[in-house]
Amino acid sequence: MAIGNDFLANLRKAQVVKKTITRSVRDLITDFQTTKIVIPSYQRTFVWSNDKQCRFIESIFLQIPIPAIFLLEKIEDSENDNTGRVTFEVIDGVQRITTIANFVSGLLKLANLETLTDLNQAKFSQLPSSISSLFMEREIDTIIIQSGTDPEIQFEVFGRLNQGSVSLNAQELRNCMFHGIFNDFLIDCSRNNTYKELLEPFPKFNTPKEGKPDKNRMLDVELVLRFFCLYELFDSEANKYPEVRVETLNGYMRDKKSDRFRSLEDLEEIFKKVIEMIKSVYFGNQFRNFLRKKDQISFVSTLSQSVFEVQMLGFVDYDISQLRDKTEIIYETFLDMSSYDDSFSDAISKATGSRINERVIIWKNRLKDVLENSEKYYEKLDLKKRLFQSNPTCQGTGSIIESLEQADVLDGKLYHRCSLSENDVIKSDKKIGSRVTIKTRTRFYLDGSAYEANDVYEVVDQVLDIVRERIEGSSFDIERLSSLVFIDTHQELSKKCTKPEKTLKRFKPIKLEKQGSGVLYFDASGGRNEVLSQLREIAKLFEFMKDFRIED
């Protein structure tokens, strides 16, 4: 059975440690005014209108039930002793506490009340003492998430409570959860003038007009965090980057104090170096995907997080002096790889979260060749420039090529990139980047053991054998497994086939039977990355698969 003592132990570890306290308005306001209760800085702009604030104050007078205020217990480190100061951050209820504070301080005058009309146009200081005392003694429920709650669970609480019209994204939550020296460092990096210059072409990073929402929402900070996380968590022995999920970024921010990581001074130097290299090579088209659509190929207008990772991580091992006279051929090679290397372009455009390692390694391999064998790249670029300046006509279609970026050369002739599947350099050395296919030998790890498979289908067979052994006899786990869209009976999967003659051969029997339905099969008819992604979905269902990892 997959559910047992381990599940109960994990549940106890994951559950929220909390307590519920009913507080008077007086006590809440006193703690707020003395900064025992604090509002995180990122939430300060989220405020109610005057009418909504007034209706809320009226609700308190009327003792209408209102949602509890959620507070997060924080224990600040003390240099003198082990008893740090305890404060409480508001994680749900910012508008409510702010409204009460506005009313008590005199910033809010009551208006448009429909039930307690006698209070219209009144400020708190103008109320009779009996009425103001009555208000201050009204009670509000508060739920305190205690400091002993696991940080990942605290993050989950933030996310689940934060479901309103101004819900916070993951980086805004990190800004609250992991505030401190490293968080401040990330924000400082995001304010670097060169970095801001690189992001300026993308509208979402522009400073919003007064009264308009901020579209950036700390994305500039999160991009810096992703870069540092990938750089520092790179496994050099396995030549592998981590898949950057929410929990990966959270863990990295939480563990940054560890001695195994580089100093902030080192990271700042690397960051400044890399963004200067980005500017010198790609300026104007940095962080954009060079994409082919029908008979046109050009840079897209939006920032691509995948391209950001490729371009930033590609330069970390070099000094700017190594690139200074090779910027043109690096730029040209990025166009080539985007145009003709399907593995590279797919890893940028499709299933981007799970293919970080693939796209970055392919690009780093090619970049290494560009820097070590620059002559052939310059010969190709120089020929292209001469042919384009002489006659910008595609030798394949006869059409005029509008820009040098859209032009390319094959066998010494000028073509539009859309009419080619390779060029002189790619044709002469197709091995660089080592394309991975469905038949590539694959190594994976599961349940504490390492496995080697001749191809993806063998990976599927081995993983399904392990899953079957562990959950056989558990109708609950079989039911969960069958809920996945790519697992069903042979008959039901067959109904979804568009090319039955090819697809049916790729149904892998799991040899488990769903009650009342029949034997279950795994649909392995997709490409390599799709099939591996499906195996990762299975892994998310079971605790015994938590260490499942595929070595790309």
Three-state SS across 67-88?
A: CCEEEEEEECCCCCCCCCCEEE
Closest CA relative to residue 69, chosen from 99, 41, 42, 96: 96
Ramachandran angles phi, psi of 453, nearest 5°: -130, 145
DSSP secondary structure string, 329-394? HHHHHHHHHHHH-HHHHHHHHSSGGG-HHHHHHHHHHHHHHHHHSHHHHHHHHHHHHHHHHH--B-
Q: What is the pLDDT of residues 188-237, one digit of tens each?
A: 999 999 999 999 999 989 877 654 567 788 999 999 999 999 999 998 88
CB atoms within 10 A of CB 478: 21
pLDDT tens per residue, the chain (552 residues)? 456 566 666 656 656 667 888 999 999 999 999 999 988 765 555 568 889 999 999 999 999 988 889 888 887 755 554 556 888 988 788 889 999 999 999 999 999 998 999 999 999 999 999 999 999 999 999 988 877 666 666 666 665 665 544 556 788 778 877 778 999 999 999 999 999 999 999 998 987 765 456 778 899 999 999 999 999 999 888 788 988 888 899 889 988 877 789 999 999 999 999 999 999 999 999 999 999 887 889 999 999 999 999 999 999 999 999 998 999 999 999 999 999 988 888 889 875 666 888 899 999 999 999 999 999 999 999 999 999 999 999 999 999 999 999 999 999 999 999 999 899 898 877 555 545 567 778 888 887 778 888 888 899 999 999 999 888 888 888 988 988 988 988 888 888 765 555 556 678 898 888 877 788 999 888 778 788 888 988 998 888 888 888 875
Phi-psi label, residue 511: left if phi above 0, alpha if psi -120 to 50, beta otherwise = left
Pairing of strands 518-523, 507-514: antiparallel
By the 10 Å C-beta count (0-12 exposed, 13-18 middle, 19+ buried), 266 is classed as exposed
How far lies 34's CA from each of 106, 478, 492, in Å? 18, 55, 64
Spatial separation of the C-alpha atoms in residues 462 and 77, rounded to whole Å: 50
Write the CB contacts of 403 (distance below 8 Å, at least 6 apart in sequence). none
Q: Which two tokens stand for residue 26?
A: 């007086």
Determine the 3-state secondary structure of 309 from DSSP.
helix
Spatial separation of the C-alpha atoms in residues 438 and 427, rounded to whole Å: 22
Spatial separation of the C-alpha atoms in residues 102 and 100, rounded to whole Å: 5
Closest CA relative to residue 43, chosen from 94, 88, 93: 94
| 21, containing H or E segment | strand 18-24
pTM: 0.62
Closest CA relative to residue 194, chosen from 279, 129, 264, 312: 279
Q: What is the pLDDT of residues 473-512, one digit of tens each?
A: 888 889 889 889 889 888 888 887 655 555 566 788 988 8
Spatial separation of the C-alpha atoms in residues 139 and 103, rounded to whole Å: 16
Write the CB contacts of 417 (distance below 8 Å, at least 6 apart in sequence). 292, 297, 335, 339, 406, 407, 408
CB atoms within 10 A of CB 481: 23
Spatial separation of the C-alpha atoms in residues 89 and 168, rounded to whole Å: 15
Are 56 and 66 contacting, i.e. CB atoms less than 8 angstroms apart? yes
